[in-house]
Amino acid sequence: MRNKRALALVIVLLIIVAGVFLFVSRFNLSALPEPGTRETILATRAKRLLIGRAARASSAPGGAAKLATGRMIFMGECSVCHGNDGRTPSNAGRWMYPRTPDLGSKEVQEWSDPELHWIIKHGVRFSGMPGFGKVYNDEQLWQLVHYVRSLAAATPNPAEQH
């Protein structure tokens, strides 16, 4: 009886190992093909949930928004992927996955100010979005949030890109 259980356990373990091997051998790590709809929906929902939870503790400071400061930081750091106008991704941003978003889009503008601040400060792992919390202080990052907000009214200008 004991030998039968041991044999059954070995067979189950071999089946599990074979299944894992089959999955891993078919897994494509390439960033070129677009992920499927389910993967995209799942990743987007997870990102919204986790960033929303992490950003709850922060709130925007009082004081006037300095768009010039935000624009200066944007042009030095963000335009490399998001494009000079923040609306039309550069070649680098256009071919990332997930794709670099149009910062004036409804999807981006739906994030709350604390959520945008959190994203800019901490970055988003596995997305290409770096964190700038070790480069800029919170006041500067809030100026960048205000600048991103101003992009909602802007119209993309393809001539300004690249």
| pLDDT tens figures, 4-56 | 888 888 899 989 988 777 776 666 667 677 778 888 888 889 889 989 988 98
Reported as a single tens digit per residue, the pLDDT across 48-87 is 998 998 898 777 777 777 889 999 999 999 999 999 999 9
Q: pTM of the prediction?
A: 0.74
pLDDT score for 78: 96
Q: How distant is the alpha carbon of residue 113 from its chain centre?
A: 16
